[in-house]
Chain A
Amino acid sequence: MSQVKQIKVNAIKNGTVIDHITAGKIRKVLDILHLEGNEVVMVGMNLFSNKIGRKDIVKIENKELSEFEVNSIALIAPEATLIIIKDFEVAKKAHLQLPEHIEDIINCPNPKCITNSEPIISKFKLTDDQTSQVRCLYCEKKYLIDEVKIKK
């Protein structure tokens, strides 16, 4: 067992670990997590990873992620691993996947898009391009995932 795994498994009794976050994306991940301010949160940045080179990691005690939070993190850090810890043991481990359909997670950056003037659930779809891009299903504009803002 690697040092990182020992830390994440042993350090919290119950909660969630998000591992293999691409280095540099931790701030965006923390923005997505609806933290109250009183949780125990441990953050590692630029740690060595056999799998992805450099990685960020976050451990949050006594928190289970909502579906919205999981989908949002999958969008900005699709290579991340989600680990649920129960009583110091790994209860569940899942590799996040970039969802093909993205509903109610992103705000469309196009100010002329109808989703920015009417109360509409935003809908995006991954494009077939090699780079990670999404297309708004309303205004049909295409954006790099790094350009879009996740809803609060």
Chain B
Amino acid sequence: MTYAVPEIRSAGASRRKRLSYAAVEPWLYLSPAIVLLIVVLVVPLIIGISYSFRKFSAFKSEFVGLGQYHAMLSDAVLGQALVNTLWWTVASLFFQFFLGLGLALLLDKPFIGRKLVQAVVFLPWAVPSFLSGLTWAWLFNPIIGPLPHWLFVLGLRSDPSTSILSDPATAMWGPIIANIWFGIPFFAITLLAALKSIPAELHEAAAIDGASPWQRFSKVTLPFLAPTIVITVMLRTIWIATFADLIFVMTGGGPAGSTNTVPVYVYVSAFKSLDKGYASAVAVLLLALLIVYAIALIGIRRSLVRHV
């Protein structure tokens, strides 16, 4: 604990003043941001972690050590929620990414009506997620919504009087479809911005060298997009994995828990079962999984940047 302080004290007065001011100045500029980060991120995180060692009821709590974590090991509902979360995240991300990339490539080229397509593509981003969920839930409703009929006409459902939301085997597809619609603009916007930053000469040079469109995409476009792709995929994965609005509005985690994801389970444990401690422990687990995932992807991004 004797780090730099004795050295500074042994120096002359003016030097000490300069040194200490130089050392402090950046921190002064950074301090509002640091305080803000501590207040909005670090403090709630510490409170959340400390809650995970307690058992709560509505107006009481007691310290239970690792009891909540121990209870998680034998919680079948949590097991199902983890599997559902994985499925929800991977399927949503896969379609959001590829459809978003396709739209970004389309919108990168001039064509008649591009502005209109652009406006339509970005529209879902402007609609509150809760409202999106309500709208999609009604679209899937077999009495007043058109989708069950069209899924039947297309041969995807055998019975137009039922909704995919009511069948445990297909229920997760409802929120996933809504989420795909909701998330495409994110990839379309960010990838379109990245596409615009690729120097046109590179494509021209490749074309002169006789590269095919696929070769130009795979050898020029994709390497330039790769760092952006890794970062957007990482951010989006975290957002989707923790995003509960659509599921909550469309299925409430049902039927029979078939769309119960970890964030929905956290919400129900905290506010319906009134056990904030268990909810916090589950949230800490999700946080840990997402941190591991983010670290892995950051590693991938570093190696990609080195190779570009």
Partners in one complex: no
